[in-house]
């Protein structure tokens, strides 16, 4: 019996040691990383695309910083605090692996120049793989600073550089490298807070047929001015060179990293604002179904035609996508309206809103994702699928009506921004993704 107990105790120690080894955080001296500006010395075009992108601004984004700090307030549970403190793992990954900042409540302004660059060149191109596909499980093998930058990994098998060693990496061609930060689980409760990568995994775009498979890079790293590169548009290759004096390639992956955020790019780089708007305007199709109109019923369909993930995606308790509907009679009198912003820029209650609502585990909604123990609602549009909304008009409506409907998108709720920063400090832009104006005889 004692022998068996000793055996099982030994096995337990072995598994415990293996678990600790697998979950042990990486730590590197900051001196092992090089700045994005250094990379830009040769990769000037790519550097210019990345500069002021959301990857570049991940750490310095004033809205992110304000929301992250705000959500630290009023948390009594250490489990909730652990999640609220963990934002930095993706927003300043070099800061985390070099020891500062370790948590969101640290003074982020003191992180140092390279950590303040957000998701930058040396971080991604020092990646060798990942130990999990969420919460930033990326495994790194950086060099030793400017004098010995080490191996930089990417999608080409024959890259050469006079400055650093180069290696081909299948990981950099796969969606998993993106999914590491674009899938987020509550660090204690395990609640799925962001599921962009999982949404793509379960979509038709994650096909086993190479001809039909489109990864994150296949859309988001094909986009450039005038080329939205969504699933509903052409995605032409971007021929060129990756660095000054290097060989011509059939396609150079762009590094704008555009999603739906037109706010920060608008402030620092108007051209990037336009890229975000182009992507949003080519993400969905809005239609009105005429079949039931003779009975005074108006049917609206929203189809996700352009995204390889849900619409909206990301932190979808904060993102806002909604329908604005205005129906008038022949004299112009409003018979029905929904989703029309009030004077403060807030969406009225009862509107058709596509988002996620988290709960506290007892069925009560929570605003702070650190408290999210459950998902109470997830009403969004999956890739290639549609959602239908039905509006019934009063029986007294005149025969001729005009229907105006718009599918709108905003980075976050205006009331949240007003609550955190103060009313009037920032007004978030609203982008029209799709719209229809139609006169109908009932």
Domain ranges of the chain: 20-269, 283-441
pTM (predicted TM-score): 0.92
Mean pLDDT of all residues in 148-176: 96
* Residue 315 pLDDT > 70: yes
- Number of Cβ atoms within 10 Å of the Cβ of 57: 25
Cα-based distances in Å from 368 to 71, 84, 318:
6, 9, 10
Mean pLDDT of all residues in 157-183: 97
Cα-based distances in Å from 297 to 25, 168, 203, 332, 389:
57, 57, 32, 19, 10
Q: What is the pLDDT of residues 368-399, one digit of tens each?
A: 999 999 999 999 999 999 999 999 987 766 67
* Residue 279 pLDDT > 60: yes
- Number of Cβ atoms within 10 Å of the Cβ of 289: 13
Confidence at residue 166, expressed as pLDDT on a 0 to 100 scale: 97
| Summary mean pLDDT of the chain | 91
Give the whole-angstrom CA distance, residue 249 versus residue 45: 14
Give the whole-angstrom CA distance, residue 21 versus residue 288: 56
* Contact (CB, 8 A) for 398 and 293: no
Confidence at residue 267, expressed as pLDDT on a 0 to 100 scale: 67
Looking at 2.40.160.40, 3.30.450.30, 2.40.160.20, 2.60.40.10, the CATH number of the domain 283-441 comes to 2.60.40.10
Beta bridge partners of 300: 288, 389
Mean pLDDT of all residues in 87-105: 92
Would you state the structure tokens that stand for residue 18, as one six-digit string?
């293996």
> Sorting pLDDT into bands at 50, 70 and 90, what band is 400?
confident
Q: Tell me which long-range contacts 238-242 makes (C-beta under 8 A, separation of at least 24).
A: 240/45, 242/43, 242/46, 242/154, 242/156, 242/159
């Amino acid at each position: 019996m004692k022998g068996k107990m000793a055996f099982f105790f030994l096995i337990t120690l072995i598994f415990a040691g293996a678990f600790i080894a697998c979950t042990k955080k990486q730590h590197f001296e900051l001196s092992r990383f090089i700045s994005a500006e250094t990379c830009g010395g040769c990769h000037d075009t790519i550097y210019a695309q990345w500069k002021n992108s959301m990857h570049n601004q991940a750490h310095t984004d004033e809205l992110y910083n304000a929301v992250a700090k705000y959500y630290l307030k009023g948390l009594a549970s250490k489990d909730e605090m652990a999640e609220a403190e963990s934002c930095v793992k993706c927003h300043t990954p070099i800061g985390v692996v070099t020891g500062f900042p370790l948590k969101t409540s640290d003074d982020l302004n003191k992180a140092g120049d390279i950590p303040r660059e957000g998701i930058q060149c040396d971080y991604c191109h020092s990646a060798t793989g990942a130990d999990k596909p969420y919460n930033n499980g990326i495994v790194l093998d950086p060099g030793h600073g400017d004098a010995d930058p080490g191996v930089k990994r990417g999608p080409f098998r024959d890259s050469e550089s006079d400055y650093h060693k180069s290696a081909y990496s299948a990981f950099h061609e796969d969606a998993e490298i993106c999914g590491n930060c674009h899938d987020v689980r509550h660090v204690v409760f395990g609640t799925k807070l962001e599921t962009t990568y999982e949404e793509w995994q379960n979509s038709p775009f994650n096909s086993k047929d190479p001809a039909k498979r489109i990864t994150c890079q296949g859309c988001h790293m094909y986009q450039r001015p005038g080329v939205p590169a969504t699933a509903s548009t052409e995605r032409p290759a971007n021929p060129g060179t990756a660095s000054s004096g290097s060989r011509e390639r059939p396609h150079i992956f762009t590094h704008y990293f555009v999603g739906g955020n037109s706010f920060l790019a608008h402030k620092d780089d108007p051209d990037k604002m336009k890229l975000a708007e182009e992507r949003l305007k080519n993400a969905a199709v809005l239609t009105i179904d005429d079949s039931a109109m003779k009975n005074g019923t108006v049917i609206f369909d929203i189809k996700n035609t352009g995204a390889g993930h849900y619409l909206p995606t990301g932190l979808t308790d904060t993102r806002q996508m909604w329908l604005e509907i205005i129906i008038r009679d022949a004299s112009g009198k409003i018979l029905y309206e929904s989703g029309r912003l009030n004077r403060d820029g807030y969406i009225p209650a009862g509107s058709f809103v596509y988002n996620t609502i988290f709960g506290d585990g007892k069925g009560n909604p929570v605003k702070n994702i650190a408290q999210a123990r459950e998902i109470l609602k997830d009403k969004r549009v999956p890739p290639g699928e549609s959602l239908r909304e039905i509006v019934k008009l009063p029986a007294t409506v005149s025969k001729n009506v005009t229907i105006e409907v718009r599918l709108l998108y905003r980075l976050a709720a205006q009331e949240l921004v007003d609550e955190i920063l103060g009313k009037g400090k920032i007004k978030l832009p609203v982008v029209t993704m799709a719209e229809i104006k139609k006169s109908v005889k009932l």
